[in-house]
Amino acid sequence: MKGYEKYTRQFFEAKPVTMDWRNKTYIDKAPYWCSVDLRDGNQALIIPMSLEEKLEFFKFLVKVGFKEIEIGFPAASETEYDFCRALIEQNLIPDDVTIQVLTQSREHIIAKTFEALKGAKHAIVHLYNSTSVAQREQVFKKDKKEIIDIAVFGAKLCKQYREKTEGHFTFEYSPESFTGTEPEFALEICNAVIDVWQPSENDKVIINLPVTVSHSMPHVYANQVEYMCKNLNNRENLIISLHPHNDRGCAVADSEMGLLAGADRIEGTLFGNGERTGNVDIITLALNMYSQGVDPGLDFSNLPEITEVYERVTRMHVYERQPYSGKLVFAAFSGSHQDAIAKGMKWREEKGTGYWNVPYLPIDPTDVGRVYEADVIRINSQSGKGGIGYLLETQFSMVLPAKMREDFGYHVKSISDHAHKELMPQEVYDILMRDYTNIETPLAVTEAHFVQKDGIKAYVSGEYNGKEFEVSAKGNGRLDAVSNALKAVVGDSYSVEVYTEHALEVSSKSHAASYVGIKSAKNGKLTWGVGIDTDIIVSSVKALVSAINRMKD
Ligand code: KIV
Ligand code: ZN
């Protein structure tokens, strides 16, 4: 691909680093979570949320369990200001939830921000300025000292306004575009802010290290985070926060590695909404932890509901393959996957094991409000007998004999292949009913009765190719006797090879389902038929007749 020469690596390696984090293999406790859906997420929407939608979303974020929620940039617009006031004045912020507001380092903006917060019991005031080489040179045209002055100026003002405002306010500082900033300079500017704010045990400061734009592989970011954690002043009174955007598709990896490298807090959004490629998806991060046995402290047990609210208020769409949330992520189309899942489920049921390790399903779909039957088995031309059999058994109580599953599987796959579409469970069932069950042409049995004397004798009447018949024959069971009698009508062209049956509940009436496999005398092929009736004998006769009718030369 042409043009790559114009790109250069824009990241900065932190040195020295020990990479202590690289020997850790999982995150053992949940970080502090901060939702930035209502600020970073909202500012990136084609149509930003209305006040009502923001209020609904705020309440929803609280319900999910967020304790810190960035609600906007109150000095930036009237809507943002009004939203902040509405939350405070309508008493909508639970005591254990802290709102966070963003501000630039300018006096009138800081003043307006504190005005917006009047009456709040507590809040996080989030100060930021851009520190990257690109922004310093191209946007602000300022040197490093001047950029530090901006941050220190804002930090001092925040302190002054905090003293004048009632309430408990925590400070957060972000060297915006941290990943495009030399780590030594990021450290210097953060330390300058920390020196102004003088954090203490009861007044911790949040230092947020945003991947405003992603320039590197995640381990480079982890090293930058580790470098900051090890060299920031007053580390014990700091909360190190991460705010990864997803330009390289690495926001989740950046967050996870950054946590391993010593960070304590994550700012992100539901489904990763946010500027450009979005912020880190907190659902994925949290469920990644959950799937390794760590309680994330957020409740994602009803993802369909969360998806519905999110799609409605943001007018965004959750991608079908979005981890954990997408419509297709608990679906298996491939036959071998379906088979393995069906076997895994059965194994789990039989062994009663507490741990989840079903093949192809990283978590139990029911833990996040999804359903196996509807979600897991998806039927198309790639599907296999295992999945189709499992679907019929779990959703329609039809337990096909193993060999018949194979035959029916091919039949369904070829229909899907020709129609070039996925088949829904009901369509699969309908195919079984239409093509295999109670087939009555050209042969139909209208009556069969039995006399038990020296074995069983069947008296069978019916119609074959439009002509009525009455025949009888003996056999070593009822079905065998009927089969022998029918051979006088259709010819001695087959033998009954498989017969199974089971009870079936059909709309509160008890029925029986029978499955008969007959072998052609000519070519040795098995043909299957299904019978359903309230009478078990009748159902077996119907299955046999269906098989005969389906048999091809
Ligand atoms: O992405 C970013 O850097 C931000 C800052 C304001 C924290 O959103
Ligand atoms: Zn951001």
Residue 17 DSSP label: -
234 pLDDT exceeds 90? Answer: yes
CB-count exposure of residue 508 (10 Å: 0-12, 13-18, 19+): exposed
- Confidence at residue 8, expressed as pLDDT on a 0 to 100 scale: 87
Higher pLDDT, 190 or 422: 190
3-state secondary structure 27-54: CCCCCEEEECHHHHHHHCCCCCCCHHHH
- Confidence at residue 376, expressed as pLDDT on a 0 to 100 scale: 63
210 ligand 1 Cβ < 6 A: yes
pTM value surpassing 0.85 = no
- For residue 36, the CA-to-ligand 1 centroid distance in Å is 10
Nearest CA to ligand 1 atom 2: 212
459 contacts: CB under 8 Å, gap ≥ 6:
447, 448, 449, 450, 451, 470, 471, 472, 485
CA 428 – CA 422 distance, rounded (Å): 10
Neighbours of 519 (CB within 10 A): 18
List domains and CATH numbers for the chain. Answer: 31-292 (3.20.20.70), 335-436 (no CATH), 443-552 (3.30.160.270)
- Confidence at residue 68, expressed as pLDDT on a 0 to 100 scale: 98
* Cα atoms in the 13 Å half-sphere on the side-chain side of 62: 16
CB-count exposure of residue 444 (10 Å: 0-12, 13-18, 19+): middle
- The ligand 1 atom nearest the CA atom of 208: 7
442 upstream amide cis, omega within 30 of 0: yes
**200 forms bridges with which residues in the sheet?**
203
Site to probe by mutation for ligand 1, drawn from 212, 213, 242, 247 as the one with most ligand atoms within 8 Å of Cβ, is 212
23 contacts: CB under 8 Å, gap ≥ 6:
none
Mean per-residue pLDDT, 476-490 = 96
33 ligand 1 Cβ < 6 A: no
- Confidence at residue 507, expressed as pLDDT on a 0 to 100 scale: 62
176 ligand 1 Cβ < 6 A: yes
Give per-residue pLDDT as tens, 322-370: 999 999 999 888 878 888 988 898 899 899 888 999 999 999 999 999 9
